[in-house]
Structure 1
């Protein structure tokens, strides 16, 4: 294997990217990202601030000056009512096709629909301890930042059109090509942006018709004209993106792999930078999709967990670790089952113990160490599973804090465990209470109790179960079943040695002796 390829394989993705950034781009660095606030934020859209935050954090840890900006694309057209908001259909449907910033907030607490969900995203960033500079693209349009680009693209329409079509692998013929313009006007009469077609530009005014049928809404038929300086337009995405990268002096920006496909918007942005704006594009990197049960998250289709739900299941630092630990370009299939989430907790807790010099760690552990360092420090000492197990046994938080000798940590984890229990996320084997029932087969139960001694650890107890079964010629599987039934009234549960050690051998002996 080539040495450079070998180094990339053995390093965490963020360290590889930062090395490439430092070697190809001069500081100070401006890292950019953004989202279209078309509905509630789920873990898929959260990636738009979580991934760049990893790069920002790593660069800052290396002593570099970094500006982190996050664009709220609230000038985009409102093109669908997300499933969670269908109860507001009567309020929202008349505004389909308008810029999100011009759609009323159905909850009535923000200036617009776009502002509402941008504020929600910002609130989530704060919970994840991600603090970029927030910029609304509606403000950038109002302040005229895009005007010189819109004028340039209109005056050089033929050249810009060819660059866009060639870079997006579209044929340079037909109505789409002939009617292409770099701007999308906002209709002066009905306020829609998705239904307007530019019909001409005379060097000062552009003319348009509001006549398109875009399936979810139709134009009103109005014909009008306006100046770029009226700020009642939006650049189409493939030229808007490189324009703002230029005037905001963006040096680093990432995107999902849908933008990174051949002929995607990243190819067009690079071409516009080089062939129209006469500069090199920013350093681009890409990241994979977030999947739920193998399906891509989608706000409009209601696929994906609301991030407000996810952060009730796991602390933000653990969620970030889940995202950061694998290669950034890999799709992340989030499986919100208790068993899967326990594995994520355990891996994060393991990574927190990797405090030795990084060069002494294995390749896999180096990656985990870096993922942990950029995710956030662990706020508890006891293992999450131990806290869950002990609470199921004692149902008394004060007792759990005392037994595990981690008062602050248990208090920190308390709301997550309560949410798991109340919403049935606890795996079946960990969903129990002390509920003794006499087993159908008592063979070996009392003999096991006789040999059980205070001070035994979970491995010694586990071995005692097998030794007792072997000495009495009992099928181990059936003996485990008898002991689980006698202690928790179920056929199975947590690892038996761990369970008995947590309850305490003395108390377990008392439970078992009642069946003498």
Structure 2
């Protein structure tokens, strides 16, 4: 493995973690591929909060690849986890249709009605896999159903059962601490925060069961009803004979654990077992995993029993959505990577995760803020192009637009998102009209085909159609508002004449921008090119009044899309008609 000098850029969190992971991997397993890991439970929609579980190690793995090292990014699909509850908000799923499957492995639960996939887990994995491909995430997927049912972990299971007293002693140190801390603080538990851990195994935080026969870190699925409402009642270390009973169907049986493949280690033992088995050097964990007694903290002690070490594991903060509370897969109404990729290009979504350190919260915009987000991105893009971007911003941009294997596909002609959204809004699906408007934005360099503006145009159109309320959509008048035109005083009429006189000369995005701001200046006796520093405050008031008048005459509202874009969209002939010429 090549030795690469450590990064000197102390502002880039990805480079810093890559330095640390490379060094740690050389210490633990010199010469072997570096292993980073993520874990996702397809218990429902894999949402944008869960995506941070993947993007954090992906970005680090990609940096390591750029430096010439071999690296494996494992995504463990926790599809052998139990089906805990019937999630809300999933088409084709009701309490009546799916409640009977609670307690079964996710791969044994029927997919939602109408799904093309064989079971619940595969249905929800598929959408995430497709999104990760669009995001350029290179990973190796591991099905825990396949691992457990094929006997891959047999030695680890037997080892855990043999050392169950040691595991129990570690867990016993923490079992009462969270409750005591909660009682002391008198702070109510935020259920949304607890459920936000879904997607990486945190939901149950199961540490096994203790009964008259002692503690056992293994949970069999019942041989009769296939559910995990089971209790191990006896186990023989020499013969590996295990007796269990099911409280759901009253079934019981004796099996040889050395031959039995229908069960799994409890989560707090399962996770550290996998760290040791896979040789994981880097794996992040959510805040729900990082409190005293949680799986990541306890796993750091249990992993040694399996001959491994705890990964380097930064805690990552929650991901929020503009106007929404924290996401929870079981509560319904969550937004997924697929939802985000319908309205934003992969580069933008990657950038949101790359530019913030893992312990900093992320807010993803599905409301009007997405326009400001794109403006911010385009400014950064320009700074990177001219070499004026700061090192950390430059690094985040680089991680957004390319991976080690090459650049992600991008829009050929990057027109402003807010402009594209306005055009999509006004043209209402008429692509010929959309192309006409966009080709007039810059007459000196006209858009020849709508494909030049794709996929950004398609993302903006999808945002308009799915996230802008109907009462905020733009509907241009068919006929002039005669009553309003008749009521205008001489000054208002003069402002319209000045605008109409300048349309022909200024028919471009920049030209119309100059014109609409210039009209109130000229009316007040100033030059059309006068700057804001040269103008009294009253001019801004006059400009706002003029804009409101134009909006009322064109769309019947006080506000709307940016006026230059709106004028281009309406077309010169129709503008003249609606403004009373």
Cross-structure match for 1:481: 548
* TM superposition shift of 1:509: 7.6
| Contact in 2 for aligned 1:102/1:112 (Cα 8 Å) | yes
C-alpha contact 1:183 1:236 (8 A) present in aligned 2:
yes
Out of 365, 368, 388, the position equivalent to 2:421 is 388
* Aligned residue among 111, 119, 142 for 2:118: 111
- Determine the C-alpha separation between the residues in 2 that align with 1:335 and 1:279: 41
Give the conservation status (yes or no) of the 8 Å contact 1:348–1:372: no
The answer to whether the 8 A contact 2:437-2:569 is kept is no
State the superposition RMSD in angstroms. Answer: 3.3
The counterpart of 2:221, out of the listed 182, 186, 209, is 186
Size of the alignment, in residue pairs?
493
1:350 and 2:393 are equivalent in the alignment: no
* Structure-1 separation of matches of 2:218 and 2:285: 23
Contact 1:11-1:367 within 8 A present in 2 as well:
no
How many Å separate the matches in 2 of 1:349 and 1:284?
33
Query: Which segment drifts farther, 442-451 or 13-22?
Result: 442-451
Match in the other structure for 1:461: 515
Distance in 2 of aligned mates of 1:450 and 1:210: 82
Question: Structure 1, residues 184-219: CA drift from partner, whole Å, max 9, x if none?
Answer: 1111121111x11112211111222212xxxxxxx2
Q: Which runs of 5+ in 2 are unaligned?
A: 1-7, 27-31, 179-207, 527-537
Kindly tell me: are residues 369 and 146 of structure 1, through their superposed partners in 2, closer, same or farther at Cα, counting changes over 3 Å?
A: same
Which deviates the most, 64-73 or 431-440?
A: 431-440
1:54–1:374 Cα contact (<8 Å) kept: no
Provide the rounded CA distance (Å) in 1 between the counterparts of 2:567 and 2:33.
58
Deviations 1:67-89 (A, max 9, x none): 12211111111111111346443
Cα 1:314–1:434 change in 2 (3 A) is farther
* Structure 1: distance between partners of 2:389 and 2:465: 40
- Offset of residue 262 of structure 1: 2.8
What are the ranges of 5 or more consecutive residues in structure 1 without an aligned counterpart? 1-6, 212-218
Q: CA deviation at 1:502?
A: 7.2
> In structure 1, what is the equivalent of residue 165 of structure 2?
158
1:372 aligned to 2:378? Answer: no
What's the CA shift for 1:500? 4.8
In the alignment, the residues of structure 2 paired with residue 291 and residue 183 of structure 1 have an alpha-carbon distance, to the nearest angstrom, of 35
Cα 1:500–1:398, aligned 2, differ >3 Å: closer, same or farther?
closer
Q: 1:202 aligns with which of 236, 239, 248?
A: 236
Do structure 1's residue 445 and structure 2's residue 475 form an aligned pair? no
Residue in 2 that maps onto 1:216: none
Provide the C-alpha distance between the structure 2 equivalents of 1:484 and 1:168, rounded to a whole number of angstroms: 64
Matched, 1:102 2:108: yes
Q: Determine the C-alpha separation between the residues in 1 that align with 2:398 and 2:346.
A: 16
Further displaced range: 291-300 or 403-412: 403-412
Match of 1:70 in 2: 75
SS of equivalent residue, structure 1 residue 200: strand
1:361 and 2:389 aligned: yes
Which of residues 431, 436, 450 is equivalent to 1:399? 436
CA distance in 2, matches of 1:46, 1:191: 30
Equivalent-residue separation in structure 2 for 1:317 and 1:73 (angstroms): 28
With the length of structure 2 as denominator, give the TM-score of the two structures. Answer: 0.76
Q: Does 1:90 align with 2:90?
A: no
Aligned residue in 2 for 1:283: 312
Deviations 1:437-468 (A, max 9, x none): 34443523245336636146355325413314
Cα distance in 1 for partners of 2:341, 2:73 equals 23
**Partner-residue secondary structure (3-state), 2:264:** strand
TM-score when normalising by structure 1: 0.84
- What's the counterpart of residue 15 of structure 2? 15
Structure 1 window deviating more from structure 2 (376-385 vs 232-241): it is 376-385
Instruction: Report the alpha carbon displacement of residue 241 of structure 1 after superposing the two structures with TM.
Output: 0.9
Conserved? CA contact 2:381–2:397, under 8 Å: yes
Counterparts of 1:351 and 1:89, CA distance in 2: 48
Distance 1:458 1:427 in 2: 27
- Whether the 8 Å contact between 1:429 and 1:494 is mirrored in structure 2 is no
Name the SS for the 1:162 alignment partner.
helix
- 1:370-403 CA distances to partner (integer Å, 9 max, x unpaired)? 4534584532422222223344556513324533
Please state if 1:418 is matched with 2:484: no
Matched, 1:510 2:579: no
Of 35, 38, 45, which aligns to 2:50? Answer: 45
